Structure formats: structure tokens, C-alpha cells
Amino acid sequence: MGAKFTLQEIILAALTVAGVFTISYLLLPIMAMFPVFIYKPLLLTPIFSVLVFMLINNIPKVGILIIFSTILSGILFLLSPIMFFIPLTAGILVELLIWIVFRGYKNIKEKIVAASLYPALQIPVALIFAILLGGGEYRKVLANLWLVGVFTLLSFFFGAFILLSFKRLLNKKFIKI
């Protein structure tokens, strides 16, 4: 896991974060219509998945998702200190899982799993931090914990579906990934 990153790779991660923020802010009016926080990640899943996939596909080194998450977390900290922990924790968990199960990003399967899992894991991670740091209303979600699991799985499979469609589309245009 001791991959070295060049300045170009770190800049690409920062540009990917900029892309995530730009598209997220364009979708903010739509997200404001969702009354429950757990629905909002489903709207962002396709964007997160595609942008994270493009980053991992260009820089297939274990650790790039942690760099991406650290930059994203640093910016989110300015919005809310609690938000700092969510992408960083999800990024670390995904990188650990990819390292333990696959030993890195060797082929397209690992990249799709990582890019789909990253936004999906943010749902339970956000809930855990909200309960630990906020308590109150968020504790009520524990009564319907299965719903969090369903939305996490939905987000994962939605991201995987989007990425497989994205891959097929690019392959039809003679761009091999």
C-alpha cells in the first residue's frame, strides 16, 4: 500500500473533487426537495461513481481514493466539521477492502467495485457519525436499520449499473477501458 503519487496525480484527484462539487451544486435544488437525507445520496451516486471510476481508471494505485477523500473532506470541513469524516472514512474503508480482497486495482472489476462502493458506503458512515456526534433524531433511524442497508445496497448496485453502462458506451465508441 506504499504507492508514491506524483504531483500530476494529486492535481487530477483535486480536479475530480472540483468536478464532484460542481455537479453536486448544480443538483442542490433537486436534492433540497428530498425530505429524508438518505434519498440524497441516490441522486449523487451516478456522478460520484463515474468521476471516481475515471480517477481510479487513470491512476490505478491503491491510495488514490484516500487522497481524493482527503481533499474532498478538507473542503467539506469548511461546510460542516462532521462532513469531514464521512468521505474520508468511506475512502479508507474502500481502499482497505480493495487491498485485502483484490490486492489493488488490477482490472476493470476492482475499479467498478471501488467506484460503486465509495458513494454507497457513505450512507451508513454518515448515519454512524450523525448518531455519534448529533444523536437525537438520527437515533430513530436505528429502529429501521434495514432501510439503511437497503439504500446502501441500492446505491451500490445503481452505481455499478451506471458504470457498466458507461463502460459499454465507451467500448462502442472504440475507447477501451
pLDDT of res. 174: 62
Give the three-class secondary structure for 177. coil
In a domain, 24, yes or no: no
In a domain, 25, yes or no: no
In a domain, 8, yes or no: no
In a domain, 74, yes or no: yes
For residue 175, give the nearest of 57, 14, 48, 23 by alpha carbon. 57
Number of domains in the chain: 1
Q: Under a CB-based contact definition with an 8 Å cutoff, are residues 65 and 95 in contact? A: yes
* Alpha-carbon span 72 to 87, nearest angstrom: 7
In a domain, 4, yes or no: no
For residue 92, give the nearest of 100, 8, 5, 110 by alpha carbon. 100
pLDDT of res. 26: 85
pLDDT of res. 117: 92
In a domain, 145, yes or no: yes
**How far apart are the two ends of the chain, measured CA to CA in Å?**
24
In a domain, 47, yes or no: yes
* Alpha-carbon span 7 to 34, nearest angstrom: 39
pLDDT of res. 37: 62
Cell of 53: 471510476
In a domain, 29, yes or no: no
H helix intervals, 59-144: 64-79, 85-102, 108-133
pLDDT of res. 175: 61
The whole domain housing 108 covers 36-172
Whether this model's pTM surpasses 0.95: no
- pLDDT, averaged in runs of 10, over the chain (177 residues): 82 92 83 67 80 91 93 90 88 94 89 91 84 71 76 86 83 65
Exposed, middle or buried by CB within 10 Å (0-12, 13-18, 19+), for 62?
A: buried
